[in-house]
Amino acid sequence: MASKTIPRALRLSSRVAVPRRTFVSAVRARPSAATASVSHAPAAVSARGIKTIDFAGTKETVYERADWPRDKLQSYFKNDTLALIGYGSQGHGQGLNLRDNGLNVIIGVRKDGASWKEAIQDGWVPGKNLFDVETAINKGTIIMNLLSDAAQSETWPQVKPLLTKGKTLYFSHGFSPVFKDLTKVDVPTDIDVILVAPKGSGRTVRSLFREGRGINSSIAVFQDVTGKAKEKAVAMGVAVGSGYLYETTFEKEVYSDLYGERGCLMGGIHGMFLAQYEVLRERGHSPSEAFNETVEEATQSLYPLIGANGMDWMYAACSTTARRGAIDWSPKFKDALKPVFDELYTSVKTGKETQRSLEYNSQPDYRERYEKELEEIRNLEIWRAGKAVRSLRPENQK
Ligand SMILES: NC(=O)c1ccc[n+]([C@@H]2O[C@H](COP(=O)([O-])OP(=O)(O)OC[C@H]3O[C@@H](n4cnc5c(N)ncnc54)[C@H](OP(=O)(O)O)[C@@H]3O)[C@@H](O)[C@H]2O)c1
């Protein structure tokens, strides 16, 4: 597609019912009767904050925070001390949200490490609500293990004996217990083990909470000793700042998460970008043209529209030339890529990806090794061209 002020593919065809929509209004548009295809909002049967929602013919249970106002959360957790271990991306977001919800939350991190210092900057006070890991676990009733996944495995021999009967163990990723043969995280059999996995970075967990909204999260129960594990998972999900909670299992959460980030979220999409860019360059196109046609138009114009309205809307909203070609080529890409996705899922499920991740991320020089790889990516022509293209965006012009 040509990359003009308004990309050609975005010039709305006469068949779209909103032909005079500007690009900006199109981006902001929600699926509605005004769009070319009718949007089918999921039918919801609601019982207080619990909804059974029909997702394309499959009914799923979704919990929402409406059922857990702040005073109810405070009353539910009035006898609990939430000991949040690790203060990285998730620790920061979930910890501050718990504190703002008026719950009794303490932080446990390595004394004088980077997280310790960051926690102090965020107003946590040593000896009051900031402790070393062991002290925090001893004081806590709900132990939120938000160390990095590699660190969860590394510290397990010290952490496990502290998880005494009556405590609850909380994760934000199924990684450690699901792949216990590799991580060695074999949870004690006499405690509840629950999961709340926000579908976004800890920074988003925090910013959405501050905006009065909530992030979508998955919840799951690995082990229910008290008979209250699911209720606790839902309450914890709301308490850390979720808006909607989707029920899953530890296994499905970790499989889909590892698969997605290696696929369409990052690895796969980077591979597609590189393949398309390289062919354009080999066929004589300039770096700016190759970048604009591969990345800039995708991320700045089309992907937000697909996110807001769906693929059918996108096809309907582009020129008939773009629509014909895109619909024709989509199955070819699907057929070429599906075996790769299949191989990827198997690699996730068998633990191969976990093994690779644990081995790599527990090397003493893993940060330097990553930096070297990232430097190589930064120096690829496509991303150097991208830097120049981004500098020309109106918002980056002084
Ligand atoms: N990041 C996300 O977007 C995201 C989203 C959903 C779920 N999750 C899950 O949430 C959990 C936490 O992830 P995260 O990204 O927040 O982690 P992270 O930013 O990598 O946090 C690392 C934390 O682990 C501590 N740590 C590292 N090695 C340690 C060791 N050997 N001993 C003691 N502490 C150590 C660090 O403390 P120091 O500063 O002292 O090194 C830091 O507080 C993971 O299970 C992850 O899969 C993450």
124 within a domain of the structure (yes/no): yes
**Percent with pLDDT over 90 in the chain:** 79
Per-residue pLDDT, averaged over 350-355, amounts to 96
- Please indicate, yes or no, whether residues 212 and 301 belong to a single structural domain of this protein: no
Find out whether the beta carbon of 243 lies less than 6 Å from any atom of ligand 1: no
**Mean predicted confidence (pLDDT) in 362-390:** 94
Selected catalytic residue, list 40, 92, 173, 270: 173
Q: Annotated binding site for Mg(2+), which residues?
A: 257, 261, 293, 297
User: Are both 146 and 173 inside the same structural domain?
Assistant: yes
| Domain match, 326 and 239 both | no
Mean pLDDT over 206-226 rounds to: 96
pLDDT above 80 for 337: yes
Q: For residue 50, what pLDDT is reported?
A: 80
Residue whose Cα lies nearest atom 21 of ligand 1: it is 88
Entry pTM: 0.86
Residue 224 sits in the same domain as residue 288: no
127 and 268, same structural domain? Answer: no
The HSE-up count of residue 37 (CA atoms within 13 Å, CB side) is: 12
In this structure, the answer to whether residues 272 and 221 fall within a common structural domain is: no
Reported as half-sphere exposure (CB side, CA atoms, 13 A), residue 157 has a value of 1
51-97 confidence digits (pLDDT tens): 888 888 898 889 989 889 999 999 999 999 999 999 999 999 999 99
- In a mutational test of the pocket of ligand 1, which residue from 111, 118, 148, 196 has the highest number of ligand atoms less than 8 Å from its CB? 148
Cβ of 301 less than 6 Å from ligand 1: no
- Give the E-state strand segments of the chain in sequence order: 44-47, 50-55, 58-64, 82-85, 105-108, 130-131, 142-145, 168-171, 192-198, 215-223, 242-247
Q: Residue 207 pLDDT more than 70?
A: yes
**What burial letters (b/e) apply to 46-65, b meaning 16+ CB within 10 Å?**
eeebebebeeeeeeeebbbb
Answer yes or no: do 190 and 309 share one domain: no
Helix/strand/coil for 228: coil
What's the mean per-residue pLDDT of the chain? 89
260 CB within 6 A, ligand 1: no
What is the reported pLDDT for 338? 98
Contact 56, 121 (CB under 8 A): no
Nearest to 61 by CA among 79, 75, 48: 48
Q: What pLDDT, on a 0 to 100 scale, did the predictor assign at position 46?
A: 46
Backbone angles phi, psi at 107, to 5 degrees: -110, 140
- 285 is an active site residue: no
How far is residue 278's CA from residue 275's CA, in Å, rounded to a whole number?
5
Contact status, residue 292 vs residue 302, Cβ threshold 8 Å:
no
Looking at residue 362, its pLDDT comes to 82
What's the whole-number mean pLDDT along residues 292-311? 97
In tens, the pLDDT along 4-15 reads: 334 444 444 433
Q: How many domains does the chain have?
A: 2
Is the beta carbon of 362 within 6 A of some atom in ligand 1?
Answer: no
CATH code, 307: 1.10.1040.10
pLDDT of residue 167: 98
pLDDT at residue 18 is higher than 60: no
Q: Collect contacts of 334-339 with beta carbons under 8 A, ≥24 apart.
A: 337/268
pLDDT of residue 251: 98
Q: Would you place residue 1 in the very low, low, confident or very high pLDDT band (cuts 50, 70, 90)?
A: low
The answer on 199 and 90 residing in a single domain is: yes
| Test site for ligand 1: of 90, 132, 155, 185, most ligand atoms within 8 A of the Cβ | 90
Contact 17, 36 (CB under 8 A): yes
Q: Domain for residue 169, yes or no?
A: yes
Burial class (CB in 10 A: 0-12, 13-18, 19+), 249: middle
Predicted confidence at residue 19, as pLDDT, reads 30
Same-domain pairing of 188 and 278: no
Q: Using 50, 70 and 90 to split pLDDT, how confident is the model at 353?
A: very high
Dihedral, CA of residue 324, residue 328, residue 334 and residue 335, to nearest 10: 180
Q: Answer with the one of 222, 248, 274 that is the final residue of a domain.
A: 248
Residue 254 lies in a domain: no
d(CA 21, CA 339): 40
Residues 253, 174: contact at Cβ < 8 Å?
yes
Note the pLDDT of residue 160: 98
Whole-number pLDDT of residue 364: 86
CA of residue 149 to ligand 1 center, whole Å: 7
Same domain, 161 and 59: yes
Q: Tokens 């998730």 label which residue?
A: 90
Mean pLDDT to the nearest integer, 200-214:
94
Nearest CA to ligand 1 atom 30: 151
Q: What is the pLDDT of residues 110-144, one digit of tens each?
A: 998 899 999 999 999 999 999 999 999 999 999 99
* Residue 58: strand, helix, or coil: strand
Backbone angles phi, psi at 350, to 5 degrees: -80, -5
Answer for the pair 196, 242: CB distance below 8 angstroms, yes or no: yes
Q: Are residues 149 and 267 in the same domain?
A: no
Has residue 42 been placed in a domain?
A: no
Distance 64 CA to ligand 1 centre (A): 27
Burial class (CB in 10 A: 0-12, 13-18, 19+), 168: buried
The domain that holds 141 is classified in CATH as: 3.40.50.720
Choosing from 84, 87, 89, 362 the residue with most ligand 1 atoms within 8 A of its CB, the one to mutate for a pocket test is: 89
- Given a cut of 70, is residue 16 above it in pLDDT? no
Q: From the CB of residue 282, how many other CB atoms can be counted at a distance below 10 Å?
A: 9
Amino acid 48: pLDDT: 57
**CA-CA distance, 278 to 285, in Å (whole number)?**
10
Cβ–ligand 1 distance for 115 under 6 Å, the answer yes
Q: How far is 291 from 308, CA to CA, in rounded Å?
A: 24
Question: 141 and 179: one domain?
Answer: yes
> Is there a contact between 142 and 170 (Cβ–Cβ < 8 Å)?
yes
The boundaries of the domain holding residue 135 are 51-248
Of 28-37, 131-140, 155-164, the range with the lowest mean pLDDT is: 28-37
pLDDT of residue 161: 98
Domain end point (choices 197, 225, 248): 248
Tell me: pLDDT of 39 over 50: no
Give the pair of three-digit tokens for residue 109: 């991190």
